[in-house]
Amino acid sequence: MLRKRYRMPWLLLIAVFAISAPPAFSQSKLIAIDVLIEPGPKMIEEAQKWNARMREQSPEGFELDEEHAPHITLVQRFINEPDLPKVLAAVEKVKSEFDITSLKMTATGLYHIPSGKIGLAGIVIEPSKELLALQKAVIEAVNDYAQEGGGESAFVSDKSGTPFDPQLFTYVETFVPQQTGKKFNPHVTIGVAPLGWLEEQEKKPFENFTFGATGIATYQLGNFGTASKRLDRDD
């Protein structure tokens, strides 16, 4: 009788273990980050001029502001949000090894990435040895924390309601190696405009100019790969 009293059906036993056992793993939230160079006043001025012209063509396009900060991307990655303090510490170490304020860069033209009937445009910057060395150091600092599989939830939401192009998710996930080393295309994103208008602007002569940098920062990306939310300071 005692033997019968304490027998438990196998299905019930499995259910008990399923409820009481801890989960095998927990999925941390992914965030899309951009470790970037903050350009000096000359580039900010030129980027804002171009952005104003582009918004005349596409009023619905984004304005360069605190949530769309002009910048030069060094690396974009998906990371687990709990790893952010470690990532920031690694980037801080790189910052201590480079004199960013002595960096001189040269803008050489315009380019765009098509997205439907519009294009995301930028001012192209010469990929100097100094820029390549800085990018390499930042990539090495961040690589241990890189993750795959990020989607729209990894980005700062777009207040305008503009849909995210899935190409952006692929761009971030494959930034290393597709946008690094010999494939590095340093640039400052300046806005969106109709494809035809952008193509006409790129045919016109471009007056090269030099500019400096004010620092290195880490942002969470927004729509169109904009630097939307600063992550390495409290304000």
Each residue's pLDDT tens digit, 184-205: 999 999 999 999 999 999 999 9
pLDDT at residue 22, as a whole number: 41
Q: What is the pLDDT of residues 82-98, one digit of tens each?
A: 999 999 999 999 999 99
* CA 87 – CA 94 distance, rounded (Å): 11
CATH 3.90.1140.10 fits 27-229, yes or no: yes
pLDDT of 43 strictly over 50: yes
Sketch the domain layout of the chain as residue ranges. Answer: 27-229
